[in-house]
Amino acid sequence: MTTTRAFRMKLKPGMVEEYRRRHDELWPDLAQALGEAGIYDYSIFLDKETLHLFAVLKLRPDHSIDALPQQPVMRKWWDYMADLMETVPGNRPREWPLQPMFYFA
């Protein structure tokens, strides 16, 4: 069964366009690692007023998303993005899980 995850992150002021540019140029090896971890249909939305980013992704039943933080390409991406957003130690983006409240199919 497919799982959907959603979470919130936060950009630093003045970083919207650079964040978009870096994601428009997503590294092929990072895209491959995300796909191999079972992630697909991944979108990130911006609330311009608060600079909050809202991410929604789907996971295949056999996903290995919990292993992504150990992937060198994932850590390299977090280091690359750390100047643009709020992070925790290790430069992982600070994430706030979002609780599902409504679904319409």
Whether residue 63 lies in the annotated active site: no
Catalytic pick among 23, 26, 31, 43? 23
pLDDT in tens, 29-63: 999 999 999 999 999 999 999 999 999 999 999 99
Question: Using CA atoms, how far apart are residues 66 and 85, in angstroms rounded to an integer?
Answer: 21
Beta-bridge mates of residue 45: 54
Give start and end residues of each alpha helix (H) in 46-98: 72-81
The architecture in CATH of the region 3-95 reads 2-Layer Sandwich (3.30)
pLDDT in tens, 66-105: 999 999 999 999 999 999 999 999 999 999 999 999 999 8
Write down the domain spans for the chain: 3-95
36-19-8 Cα angle (round to 5): 70
pLDDT in tens, 8-17: 999 999 999 9
- Which pLDDT score, from 0 to 100, does residue 1 have? 81
Cα distances (Å, whole numbers) of residue 31 to 24, 54, 99: 12, 19, 26
